[in-house]
Structure 1
């Protein structure tokens, strides 16, 4: 082989490595963009849930003490600064389960509700489910982005640039089971 052949092979190898690194950096960049979008979506769903909880709390379907507690928790969740947001959102989920989680408590609320209030309860369940899906999607994307950033080639070549390390958003997102079952039964009864 001549010197020209070796030079061409070296250029080809360097070109392939450059293409691979560029492709990997682009993929990582797209993951970070998707993560930002997922975080914004989760934030929007959390705001919607706190608004729906507030609407439910002031609807007159629960006693005044539960109304005060739910309104305060919804307002705290909405206004909490970044480092306290996870705790506030988890507390809102726990309070919802306390008020509407037991089947008898949810059943009492459901029985007192007229058609517009039942629609509000269905919106509350749907809002809780959307939060759950957005939360899972966000945290799954965080895990995949972290795994990509842990790859040796990404770390060695600093392909992540100055992007911050992706952080999961951890909070209790379980919906009130009693109400979820009632709304599901009512929806299946209408479909039948």
Structure 2
């Protein structure tokens, strides 16, 4: 039975996710089911407190939550951009060109396997385009970002969640509403 007024803001990733009683890795609780709708209530560093439809709440790695698409902007509203995906696309193109050039040299016999590995060492790219949606790997920050043409947001990250005290770039507590932080 859903809590009255429950409006999901996110869903759990397709593989499910662990959850904790508090933003503390030492206090695990029941894992959340894949694609479970949740409402993000609060953020502390990388942690997010979510509310499930049945009223149960838990802490999760908020960076892995998948945002539920919001209604499109009304025609008279200005389009707002939180970030621009174009620099990520440029970096992906540059790295792909470097990889392709090294591969061409390897195929032509101008490089041996070790030289090929040296030239391609550190190259990491990832791009998935599906219509107007794009997922880009941001190697500089070790994260996948998602763009729908209007906004860019973190989809997943390589790092484990950190407490707010470990990450001075985040506010200690950030309350999130359906209208934003």
* Fold similarity call, TM over 0.5: no
Higher relative contact order (CA 8 A, sep 6+): 1
Flag the structure with higher helix content.
1
* TM-score, normalised relative to structure 1: 0.29
Flag the structure with higher strand content.
2
